[in-house]
């Protein structure tokens, strides 16, 4: 398999964090988004929507959409489980991941592209204000979901953590600030950014 990606972009970052947690290594090809490589014919043949990530399967087919790629890899490499061990675990993990994607991840991505787009999109103050209007309620809900857990859905990382980190890191790198009132989110970010593997092994 071969992964076509651009590491700083939020959706490819979800894949990167997932691979880190699974301790998986894939052959990777960097697609340079700022230069417009994703709009060239070679990449359009992989993804007509001119996006990354794209996973080239061993049979030559191309799988698009970050969550579909993650779920495919989870089927191929089920241990350690990153969606859940039971039907109930998987259902609640998927529900939480979906909430994070729709209410936090996508809002942060749209906010950054409306204020300080790394790929040169024009400023859009109205869009930025709209996304900021909904983020406090979503972050408060997330803060309560995390509670005193190490990770979003409990004491082990899941795909919900990968989606959240992909969005938060992108936003923080390009100028958004995480308010200290979301103390559980801040604590989670510090833990998931690095070092939690050692803590888990010690525990």
Please tell me the predicted confidence (pLDDT) of residue 195. 53
What's the CATH code of the domain at 16? 3.40.30.10
Strands 27-30, 54-56: pairing kind: unpaired
Both 92 and 69 in a single domain? no
At which of 26, 46, 76 does a domain end? 76
Q: Are residues 38 and 101 in the same domain?
A: no
Asked whether residue 149 falls in the same domain as residue 70, the answer is no
pTM for the whole structure: 0.92
Q: pLDDT tens-digit profile of 34-76?
A: 999 999 999 999 999 999 999 999 999 999 999 999 999 999 9
Q: In 3-state terms, the chain is what percent helix, strand and coil (to 5)?
A: 55, 10, 35
Q: Would you say residue 55 lies in a domain?
A: yes
Domain-embedded: residue 81: no
So what's the pLDDT on residue 194? 78
Q: How confident is the model at residue 196 (pLDDT cuts 50, 70, 90)?
A: low
The share of the chain scoring above pLDDT 90, in percent, equals 92
Residue 200 has pLDDT above 50, yes or no: no
Across the range 138-158, mean pLDDT stands at 96
Number of structural domains in the chain? 2
Does residue 98 fall inside a structural domain? yes
Residues 166 and 109 in one domain: yes
The whole domain housing 6 covers 2-76
Distance, CA of 178 to CA of 78 (rounded, Å): 33
Q: What is the pLDDT of residue 193?
A: 87
């Amino acid at each position: 398999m071969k992964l076509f990606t651009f590491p700083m972009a939020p959706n490819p970052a979800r894949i990167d964090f997932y691979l880190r947690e699974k301790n998986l290594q894939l052959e990777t090809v960097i697609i340079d988004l700022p230069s417009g490589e994703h709009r060239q014919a070679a990449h359009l043949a992989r993804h007509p929507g001119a996006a990354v990530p794209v996973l080239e399967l061993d049979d030559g087919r191309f799988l698009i959409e970050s969550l579909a790629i993650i779920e495919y890899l989870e089927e191929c490499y089920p241990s350690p489980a990153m969606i859940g061990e039971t039907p109930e675990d998987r259902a609640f993990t998927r529900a939480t991941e979906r909430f994070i994607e729709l209410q936090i991840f996508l809002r942060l991505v749209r906010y950054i592209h409306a204020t300080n787009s790394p790929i040169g999109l024009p400023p859009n103050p109205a869009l930025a204000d709209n996304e900021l209007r909904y983020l406090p309620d979503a972050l408060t809900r997330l803060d309560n979901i995390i509670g005193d857990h190490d990770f979003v859905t409990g004491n082990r990382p899941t795909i919900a953590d990968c989606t959240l980190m992909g969005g938060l890191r992108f936003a923080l790198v390009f100028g958004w600030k995480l308010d200290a009132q979301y103390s559980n989110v801040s604590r989670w970010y510090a833990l998931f950014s690095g070092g939690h593997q050692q803590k888990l092994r010690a525990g």
